[in-house]
Structure 1
Amino acid sequence: MKMSPAKRWIAASLAGVLWIMPVIGSEGLPHFGPGTASLAQAAASIKVTKLGEEVITSGAVMMKYKFSTTRSGKNATGLADVIRVDLSNPYVSLDVMTGKGGNLTTRQSTGGMAAETGAVAAVNGDYFNTNGEGAPIGGQVTGGVVVSTPSQLNGMYAFAVTKDRKPVIDEYTFEGLVTAEDGSQFPLSGINKGAYTPDGGGSTYSHANAAYVYTDAWTARERPKDSSASPTEVLVENDIITQISEAGKPLAIAVPKGAYILRTHGLASQFVTGHLAVGQKLVTDYTLRSKTTQQELDPANLQMMIGGHTILVNGGQAATFSRSTSSLGGYRARTALGYSQDGQYAYVIAAEKNDNSAGMSLAELQSFMTNIGVWKGLNLDGGGSTTMVDRPLAETSTTLTFNTEYGKEQRSIVNGLGVFTSAPKGEVKGIKISGSPVLLIGQKASYSLKGYDTYYNPIDVAAANPAWVASNGSASVSTGEVTGVKPGTVTLTATSGTASASTKVTVLGGEDLNGLSVGTATAPLMAGASVSVPVTAAAKSGATISVPNSALKWEFVGFKGSVQDGKLTVDSVNPGVTTGYAIARYDGFSTAVVLSAAAASTWEDFENVTYPIAFTSNVNTVTGTAGVTAGSAERAGSKVLSLSYDMTAGSGKMYAYAQFNGTSGKSIPAAAASMSIDVMGDMSLNWLRAEVVDSSGTTAYIDLAKVIDWNGWKSLNIDLSGSGIKFPASLKRLYVVNVEEGQDERAKTGTVAFDNISFVMPSLSSEAGLPKGTAVMKIGSKSMALNGTDKPIDVAPVVKGESTYVPIKYVMDAFGGSAGWNSSTKKILVLRGAKVMELTVNSKEYVLNGKRQSAEVAPLILQGRTLVPLRLVSEQLGLTVKWEQNTKTVTIES
């Protein structure tokens, strides 16, 4: 086949680096150096349940699956998303998306590529070298034009669709020739390739003694980097040689539009010197050849091709892995492609790994694929690269189908597979209401009416001014603006002409929440103090919603104040009060701001550090520095703690510590309810933590950020109220973690910095001053011995079942704090130090500092008195409870 220089080459690379290090695929280290394939794992037993499906466009359907399996005797469940593409439908097609502007060496997210190309759905694509220029490892054809040529690596499969719309999965080699005007020829090794180590070749270096073509799709000026081969380059425009570089020196230009550069080294360079001259004609020819059948494949007959890794399914059965998968282990997010036995359907598959899904092993992925009807399938890049986007019905753009391993973060990758529609504009087929499925009381939200045509593509119906109706009083609606009124589910209906659409909107009540959190959980207790108190609700469904001010009722304990427009203002403080509480209630569910005379205080700003700070690691080959340095940019003129690390020579789970004061750490003198710290991120996607040793000698690990997914400075606020740390304590280390799983997805070198560490210590004014001592109560006795002195109580403790119940008011009186009773709601509000606890009679659920939790027993009313489970309340409030069976006595200590 003659490769016409007149047509645009959208080219790709066999990505890699010198085999001093392996090419890195983003879900692990897929062994791309020479080696033998490992056998497939034992077939995984996996149960698959289809949850539902929705049309994306004519010929493409999004299907949602749940899977369950047993791992080491424990049940594991997860979710997988499958786009089924009907290749017999003339209006839908698959094609490969490439970087930015359709160019190589310009990485972009899956969603970004979909938006740029107009894809209605997409997934991430081929493996790539994260340290390379940005080109796929496998072969690629986009829009019927060769983009990438296959690598000389064994067991690397590719997925293709022919121009007559037949799917193919096979392993291919590339064969090419360069022909000079005098008839001399030299082998062509590939098109737009990064450097790598070929399997079974005579050289360690892919570009040694070889000729490669680079087209204008290769935007990097180096062709390629780290090749260990000094090139002689030839510029070819319209089949004519227009420049030849000095031997051993590349042309100092990017590839001009419509041209290509022949990059040569060694023997290939000698061919250039002996047979090529400016002004002469140069011809390049190439073909693909199946490794399994030895048949030639004309790329001109392909609509698209994308490279992958091992084959997973063949003949409807789990296949032996075609290449070592030892580095692709674990339970990760996965991406795969396959097709049905009759060739009608292509399956674009993504297994989720996030808070809702446990990920898959490769063996489980094989089982899943055979369960849903895949006849032949291969593995694409997974782990942190796994990303799927789709265009919901009647919408005009794609959205993230599920959270990636890094949350909403979409990794920048080298190519992806897009689903495209070419359907003409059809007639209106249906309409749907677009808007949030949940609201809070008092929340206002806008809803819109959107339509789709007979090809399931979006069509404008908004001009018809639809009429809106809400089915009941849980919400009100006016011209598309809906307001939550009371808990319940309302049917929202919009009518446009003869067409109508309905959707369910649930107005959440307190019983529907798992938590309420205040943006500022602590504040200074002083007249005139004013802080912003935005409140966020966490629904049991997983949704997170900002609570409108109008939906909140505030109660103030220990001070007089007000909340207006989301701002809490202290008007006056009650005499003798050092800790106050601003309690926010949403439909009976509570959270609180703890106000203290010793509110957030700067613990360390690194301006005058008098103790040593040192770098250390768990791996002796991990290097770095830690110390106080001058700040820069927005921190210019101040000092910060800088932590630089280099983990490239390490392996396994690696830590880079900034260690405070040798092994002693720096003291946190009193109980802290929360911690704030300014952090300069390095976008490394590593894990950021702090290590604290408490007064009992127990080490506590505090997550500052699960993923460092930002550059520059950012303020982090960490709730410590449920940490179980016994104060006083010591902060020993701030550190970066690079865990072993998916390690190549995160940077192994970087620099983070810290500044302005503060702790909110209401204990300085409350818990530190709370009474210490011992109280003894006896079952059936209306007397309590407090530090040896008997005091009367109006109701005796009782044992019911295996639990001891007491009147909590007397415990609070003895050890500080307060307990209040609301007879109408049957709720008990307990306040002590930084803890705010709300219990409900006959309910095992309680709320602690805004978070719903569950106990084994519930408060009860006995003989007209409210009694609470002693151990639950006392231990949650920092007290120690001991039970003496023989004497039926309870001892409480603080």
Structure 2
Amino acid sequence: MNEVFMEKKSSEVVRGIRLSSTKKWIAASLAGVLWIMPVIGSEGMMLFGQGSAPIAAAATAPFKVSKLGEEVITSGAIMMKYKYTTTRSGASASGLADVIRVDLNNPYVSLDVMTGKGGNLTTRQSTGGMAKETGAVAAVNGDYFNTGGEGAPIGGQVSGGVLVSTPSQLDGMYAFAVTKDRKPIIDEYSFEGMVTAPDGAQFEISGINKGAYSPEGGSSTYSHANAMYIYTDVWTALDRPKNSSTTPTEVLVENGVVTQISENAALPTAVPKGAYILRAHGLAARYVTAHLTVGQPVTSVYSLKSKTTQQSLDPANLQTMIGGHTILVNNGKAATFSRSTSSIGGYRARTALGYSQDGRYVYIIATEKNGNSSGMSLTELQSFMTNIGVWKGLNLDGGGSTTMVDRPLGETSTTLTFNTEYGTEQRSIVNGLGVYTNAPQGEVKGIKISGSSALLVGQKATYSLKGYDTYYNPIDVAAGNPTWVSSGGSATVSAGEVTAVKPGTVTLTAKSGAASASTTVTVLGGEDLSSMSVGTATAPLTTGTTVSVPVTAATKSGTTINVPDSALKWEFVGFKGAVKDGKLTVNAVDAGVTTGYAIARYDGFSAVVVLSTAAATTWEDFEKVSYPIDFTTNVPAVQGTATIVDGTAERVGSKVLSLSYDMTAGSGKMYAYAQLNGTSGKTVPALATSMSVDVMGDMSLNWLRAEFVDNSGATAYVDLAKIIDWNGWKNINIDLSGSGIKFPATLKRLYVVNVEEGQDERAKTGTVAVDNIKFTMPSLSSDAGLPKGTASMSIGSKAMTVNGTKKAIDVAPIVKDGSTYVPIRYVLDAFGGSATWDQVNKKIMVLRGAKALDLTVNKKEYLLNGKRQSAEVAPIILQGRTLVPLRLVSEQLGLTVKWEQKTKTVTIES
């Protein structure tokens, strides 16, 4: 080893420690946590895939990869999107992967590690946040870290050519680096160091800026026992680290001179700028007491060495380095895993790094796990990497941390490349790998129009013009006074503001100087929609009620659109009301009305809010529970309780159901149930369209669900929260309208799930509580009071018998093409409801209870509560009267129809 004096850093050294560039050192990086544990005298241990037992990795199922497209991010970096298909357990599976390819031959692009907030360890920040802070044009999450620790990488890290953190003593952990002469490296590294006192006495340095963990292959199972570590000003936490020892001795070194020694206690301060702290335990602390003195110099030497070649690499020759986990690809083929992968198995979102055989290209890889993609196993990831040209590659930290951001062409900031496992939420992490550009400003190369590709009639939307230069970096084109024109007549445009006028297609064209761009915008009419719904399907029919009524539409092509207020016309039946800024207000209820309707109309399409006098019913508030509530689980080792307790915080003075669980001794997919009323559950008596529950979260990132058994005996599982990512109380509303539950049903249990995949990311202990479970059951009120009975009509007869009483009707039922048609008004007179006739559009809207039915003359398609459906027959006009298909209308309204062939009589029952 060669001597390096720990002196004050020059201005070019931003963070960490720079090693002498005149010596040959090894740049090391280890990623992936194994056992994270304190030294002797501390509490708690965290398991992460211990052991280095190799596992042969080779995907046996066919694995097909196809490129969907690519887009330039900046000069030297492109984003490529792939689709993959394979077979799992005999079934077909597919997904998406995103790859940023960086050309190291391009002098304008570079890679570097982003760190927390302000470039500091122990601060944590999202990938997108770090990219924004550092000016990265693309980025991916980085190294493994102990989620219960301060926030430092497990592997080594070099940022901006500065050594920030050293590798942990763990087997089979690989790292990725790029040298200053722009050569990629993937290797496994170790660290060696020595501190020397003025009297010549020496003591080994175990690492720089490390959290507490359990080393492998050494004499101690505790990282900080009898050890000395260096902490620089990049380590901002006061704990260096927490749970490392109860009796540390710390030495503050400034400008290479000892300025403070604190025996048997940590220094009560963060590391000053430009200084470092030697933290010593046990034998190391005795060395400090015996050989170091305030006012005297101290020197340190250390090196990083390749475990595979035993060759040294000077970290001063590195631009960047980041830790990972197992090696995945070597020499263009799937490699044997370098350590156990049992804790990171399953089909997950994943990240990886690799480079091409000639060393020119670096591949930053992220596989998606969301509604559009099924995730990948590690062996599938290996197949994917070899398919796209990776020669050597390693695994980064995936799972719920998987996040990729990139800057779309012409934009000035990065956005999420795809939704994470938790939607648009990004996990706070320790570090990430960023892509940077130093290209000068070039000439305008192109422009593009940014804005929605679909609008609704009456909608106004602003479109922006983005420009990019010859280096594909954003350039301001506003100074060119761009001009806008539209063609097609379906929309008008003025200075980038587009107003949709009528259904059809319009081409928007913008020009700035010599550059021009066009985009196609489709103005959707009612015929283009498959459904339209209001976010609040039911509401109380009470004067003063105000509810949010966001309207969304699904197109026939499968896309979802938020319908703006400007595109809607509202009408109200049974009450006086108004909708403003997306909120419905009931101003007055008509006399005698128990069910009202707020109807949102858009170009012949409609969606309905059903208001009733008792729409929301408190089902359980746990104040007077008369049935047993028990804790159960699927794994005997899981412990817990489910009890009614006194509420806390805003629930003081009330009772709540508390579910506590401890899954630390269990394994696999684990459940903690709060079981209601033994195995019987508690009844939900009528059709419920939504459910509301107050939940006290525990920030465990676990899954919260409810289990129902419906009237047919089928079990239905309802997600209350896919991820418990909050503390304290929160109200949750769940739409049950598409659940398929046949009511009446029973709610059997509420429970917490810790799924097997990615268990290192979620807490295995915690407590959640629930209160105020409510169900919206429109049928209890909106369908209550509807007339019951029997009505009959005969073909060709202008008479109708209702509950034994015969009455005249002015139009006789007819049979046409095998279907019976009747005047709908007489059916509604007998069984309740109302009908309105739109003479212009030849439409009938029928309202009965919780049902809203839209019919169009001579059209087989109809709308039921905002969803487009198809029938075999359509309404007709005969002798100036509108007749509707009896069976279709009656059954959609909840009535039963019987046909007597001999007498040609139709009987309707309710």
Q: Normalised by the shorter chain, which TM-score bucket?
A: 0.7 to 0.9
SS in structure 1 at match of 2:188: strand
Indicate whether 1:149 and 2:166 are aligned: yes
> Could you tell me how far 1:509 is from its partner in structure 2?
2.7
Contact 2:30-2:174 at 8 Å conserved across structures:
no
Structure 1 residues 30 and 849: alpha-carbon distance in aligned structure 2, compared to 1, 3 A threshold = farther
In terms of mean alpha carbon deviation, does 56-65 or 260-269 score higher?
260-269
Indicate whether 1:439 and 2:439 are aligned: no
Deviations 1:639-665 (A, max 9, x none): 555444443343333334444455554
Among 95, 101, 112, the residue aligned to 1:84: 101
Deviations 1:138-165 (A, max 9, x none): 1111111111212222211111101100
Cross-structure match for 1:220:
237
Among 6, 16, 39, the residue aligned to 1:10: 16
Among 579, 597, 600, the residue aligned to 1:581: 597
Cross-structure match for 1:104:
121
Contact 1:828-1:839 at 8 Å conserved across structures:
yes
Indicate whether 1:166 and 2:176 are aligned: no
Among 405, 413, 417, the residue aligned to 1:397: 413
Cross-structure match for 2:300:
284
Partner Cα separation in structure 1 for residue 909 and residue 344 of structure 2: 53
Partner Cα separation in structure 2 for residue 824 and residue 72 of structure 1: 57
Partner Cα separation in structure 2 for residue 584 and residue 590 of structure 1: 5
> Could you tell me how far 1:198 is from its partner in structure 2?
1.9
Structure 1 residues 753 and 54: alpha-carbon distance in aligned structure 2, compared to 1, 3 A threshold = same
Among 739, 764, 770, the residue aligned to 2:780: 764
> Could you tell me how far 1:53 is from its partner in structure 2?
1.5
Partner Cα separation in structure 1 for residue 799 and residue 337 of structure 2: 74
* Aligned counterparts, 1:600-615, within 5 A: 600-606=616-622, 615=631
* Aligned counterparts, 1:287-306, within 5 A: 287-306=303-322
In terms of mean alpha carbon deviation, does 676-685 or 768-777 score higher?
768-777
Contact 1:33-1:198 at 8 Å conserved across structures:
no
> Could you tell me how far 1:577 is from its partner in structure 2?
4.6
Cross-structure match for 1:50:
67
Question: Partner amino acid for 1:51?
Answer: L
In terms of mean alpha carbon deviation, does 65-74 or 644-653 score higher?
644-653
Question: Percent of aligned positions with the same letter in both sequences?
Answer: 74
Cross-structure match for 1:307:
323
In terms of mean alpha carbon deviation, does 10-19 or 142-151 score higher?
10-19
Partner Cα separation in structure 2 for residue 345 and residue 676 of structure 1: 52
* TM-score normalised by the chain length of structure 1: 0.88
Cross-structure match for 1:39:
56
Contact 2:36-2:48 at 8 Å conserved across structures:
no
Deviations 1:493-548 (A, max 9, x none): 22223332222223233344454232332233356766543323344666554322
Indicate whether 1:201 and 2:218 are aligned: yes
Partner Cα separation in structure 2 for residue 778 and residue 148 of structure 1: 89
Among 740, 752, 760, the residue aligned to 1:744: 760
> Could you tell me how far 1:347 is from its partner in structure 2?
0.8
In terms of mean alpha carbon deviation, does 289-298 or 410-419 score higher?
289-298
Contact 1:579-1:762 at 8 Å conserved across structures:
no
Partner Cα separation in structure 1 for residue 672 and residue 821 of structure 2: 49
Deviations 1:48-72 (A, max 9, x none): 2222211111111111122222222
Structure 1 residues 325 and 529: alpha-carbon distance in aligned structure 2, compared to 1, 3 A threshold = closer
Indicate whether 1:122 and 2:167 are aligned: no
Cross-structure match for 1:453:
469
- Root-mean-square deviation (CA, aligned residues, Å) is 3.9
> Could you tell me how far 1:730 is from its partner in structure 2?
4.0
SS in structure 2 at match of 1:767: coil
> Could you tell me how far 1:693 is from its partner in structure 2?
4.0
Contact 1:157-1:172 at 8 Å conserved across structures:
yes
Cross-structure match for 1:478:
494
SS in structure 2 at match of 1:62: strand
Cross-structure match for 1:705:
721
Partner Cα separation in structure 1 for residue 512 and residue 522 of structure 2: 23
Gaps of 5+ in 1: 23-28
Question: Partner amino acid for 1:322?
Answer: S
Indicate whether 1:348 and 2:354 are aligned: no
Partner Cα separation in structure 1 for residue 396 and residue 511 of structure 2: 45
Structure 1 residues 660 and 73: alpha-carbon distance in aligned structure 2, compared to 1, 3 A threshold = closer
Question: Partner amino acid for 1:326?
Answer: S
SS in structure 1 at match of 2:110: strand
* Aligned counterparts, 1:323-334, within 5 A: 323-334=339-350
Indicate whether 1:64 and 2:70 are aligned: no
Cross-structure match for 1:383:
399
> Could you tell me how far 1:608 is from its partner in structure 2?
5.8
Question: Partner amino acid for 1:746?
Answer: R
SS in structure 2 at match of 1:691: strand
Cross-structure match for 1:406:
422
Deviations 1:862-893 (A, max 9, x none): 997977696x8887766789999999999998
Structure 1 residues 282 and 21: alpha-carbon distance in aligned structure 2, compared to 1, 3 A threshold = closer
Contact 1:17-1:129 at 8 Å conserved across structures:
no
Question: Partner amino acid for 1:251?
Answer: L
Cross-structure match for 2:607:
591
Contact 1:13-1:192 at 8 Å conserved across structures:
no
Cross-structure match for 2:26:
none
Structure 1 residues 845 and 67: alpha-carbon distance in aligned structure 2, compared to 1, 3 A threshold = farther
Structure 1 residues 341 and 281: alpha-carbon distance in aligned structure 2, compared to 1, 3 A threshold = same
In terms of mean alpha carbon deviation, does 587-596 or 843-852 score higher?
843-852
Indicate whether 1:492 and 2:508 are aligned: yes
Partner Cα separation in structure 2 for residue 387 and residue 261 of structure 1: 34
Deviations 1:316-342 (A, max 9, x none): 222221111222222111111111111
In terms of mean alpha carbon deviation, does 822-831 or 546-555 score higher?
822-831
Indicate whether 1:463 and 2:479 are aligned: yes
Cross-structure match for 1:26:
none
Question: Partner amino acid for 1:325?
Answer: T
Partner Cα separation in structure 1 for residue 554 and residue 654 of structure 2: 38
In terms of mean alpha carbon deviation, does 462-471 or 97-106 score higher?
462-471
Structure 1 residues 162 and 519: alpha-carbon distance in aligned structure 2, compared to 1, 3 A threshold = same
Indicate whether 1:503 and 2:503 are aligned: no
Contact 2:186-2:393 at 8 Å conserved across structures:
yes
Question: Partner amino acid for 2:604?
Answer: G
Contact 1:14-1:135 at 8 Å conserved across structures:
no
> Could you tell me how far 1:105 is from its partner in structure 2?
1.0
Structure 1 residues 103 and 747: alpha-carbon distance in aligned structure 2, compared to 1, 3 A threshold = same
Among 239, 249, 255, the residue aligned to 2:271: 255
Contact 1:624-1:646 at 8 Å conserved across structures:
no
Partner Cα separation in structure 1 for residue 241 and residue 528 of structure 2: 57
Contact 1:626-1:641 at 8 Å conserved across structures:
yes
Among 433, 444, 462, the residue aligned to 1:428: 444
Contact 1:159-1:306 at 8 Å conserved across structures:
yes
Structure 1 residues 893 and 152: alpha-carbon distance in aligned structure 2, compared to 1, 3 A threshold = farther
Contact 2:794-2:813 at 8 Å conserved across structures:
no
Partner Cα separation in structure 2 for residue 815 and residue 398 of structure 1: 59
SS in structure 1 at match of 2:346: coil
Contact 1:536-1:547 at 8 Å conserved across structures:
yes
Cross-structure match for 2:43:
none
SS in structure 1 at match of 2:296: coil
Partner Cα separation in structure 2 for residue 891 and residue 295 of structure 1: 92
Question: Partner amino acid for 2:401?
Answer: S
Cross-structure match for 2:433:
417
Partner Cα separation in structure 1 for residue 889 and residue 527 of structure 2: 21
* Aligned counterparts, 1:698-737, within 5 A: 698-737=714-753
Cross-structure match for 1:794:
813
Question: Partner amino acid for 2:97?
Answer: A
Contact 2:642-2:657 at 8 Å conserved across structures:
no
Cross-structure match for 1:691:
707
Kindly tell me the number of residue pairs found equivalent between the two proteins.
879
Structure 1 residues 210 and 631: alpha-carbon distance in aligned structure 2, compared to 1, 3 A threshold = closer
Cross-structure match for 2:42:
none
Partner Cα separation in structure 2 for residue 780 and residue 297 of structure 1: 98
> Could you tell me how far 1:815 is from its partner in structure 2?
6.5
